Homo-oligomer: A and B are copies of this chain.
């Protein structure tokens, strides 16, 4: 019995795409059921199944788009169900992504760091347990520390009762670490826009979750064994993640500095706090401390680009991931420089990885474009809002200019599909691409069509 269960578990891991989809589907169904219960709504009446489904998908996929106001519509029970779904979604994606990476890669040194086992294409249960434990312990530890800071911030600066401060502290810590973007306020974090005691811990939680488990693990191990080389994955992820953060903040500040409906009225230090808060959010937590319906069109488009790129691999962030983005840049650079191989920081990039990055990025562009065109054709909204909404769903960001609830049900269903694709697509696609056997084929004569 136990052996059979073990075999089944390991067999599932041999079909990672299936396992991931199954786990997320099951969590979504359970969440939908719980959210339809009358006890889950503030009014005490049952919630319609589609609203419950949308909310469950948004929570499990740690997106944060909502068709009903989280604070207003749900009871505390409903809010806790959502938080549970976020946590399960966060655990799930981090664990599964890390396992998939273990399976497919000798590359980031993760496997060697975590186990002495020889390189095979299956994982022992011990390995699975170790990754799961690592993810859970890391998550809970970070969440606890951030929750403590937030609790202090809510209690000290906003006259919350201790119980309420603890509840809000935990809620927003978990939501931020898992890059979920669900807030207990109808206006997200606008009420705390100028409070660094709330904004800064949430930004830190978002960044730690968004860098991804492999990077966190390497940073943690690094402290113990000095002198070891950093993996290329970490060496790319960290500068690109923080580089985009800085770029995003500067561009946000430039575009919004004088906008009377956003940064215009607040002081310089507050402007900078909001600028950095809003640069962290597209990678891909999705809180907002100013109203996104009021920003410049240029800010929205810049946010589209940043959201699409997203955060680190195998973390709680969405998007095509900063490594995918950076690798494409390096490939382009190598091409322009006429270098036959792509060299990154003293390492050669494997040829298949280039094609994988291209495939992940192009399928992402295709999904967002198709979703946007469908949404445009069935709703009265303009491209600014709709592209932002579709990108936000695909990159599991959850920011919105406020059109989510006004979309027709078919449009909300498009968002559900985009959220699932965006959450599960890149990682399962990339690992499926990397896992399968490469068939040797007969060779055909080579030919070069004209490009450009």
Contacts and interface: CB of A to CB of B under 8 A. Distances in A.
A232 to B, nearest CB: 4
B233 A105 contact: no
Given A377-B298, A382-B297, A448 B338 contact: no
Nearest to A388: B383
A226 interface: no
Interface in A299-357: 300-302, 305, 313-314, 320-321, 323-324, 327-328, 331-332, 334-336, 338-341, 343-344, 346-357
A174 to B, nearest CB: 25
Interface residues of A, number: 89
A22 B4 CA distance: 73
A383 B387 contact: yes
Interface stretch (A130-138, A162-170, A411-419, A431-439): A431-439
A343 B376 contact: no
- This chain: copies in complex: 2
Main secondary structure of the interface of A (DSSP, over half): helix
A263 to B, nearest CB: 14
A18 to B, nearest CB: 16
Contact of A296 (B108, B321, B377): B377
B347 A445 contact: yes
Given A358-B331, A373-B298, A446 B348 contact: yes
Interface in A165-220: 214
A45 B332 CA distance: 49
Nearest to A427: B452
Given A347-B446, A369-B305, A377-B255, A300 B355 contact: no
B376 A359 contact: no
A301 B233 contact: no
A362 interface: yes
Contacts of A324: 451-452
Contacts of A451: 313, 321, 323-324, 327, 353, 356-357, 360, 426, 430, 434
Given A335-B355, A444-B347, A450 B321 contact: yes
A102 to B, nearest CB: 11
A441 interface: yes
A372 B301 contact: yes
Interface in A46-98: none
A126 interface: no
A241 to B, nearest CB: 13
7 contacts: A105-B448, A297-B383, A321-B450, A323-B449, A349-B446, A351-B351, A434-B451
Interface of A: 101, 105, 107-108, 214, 231-233, 236, 254-255, 296-298, 300-302, 305, 313-314, 320-321, 323-324, 327-328, 331-332, 334-336, 338-341, 343-344, 346-360, 362-363, 369, 372-373, 376-377, 381-384, 386-387, 425-427, 429-431, 433-434, 436-441, 443-452
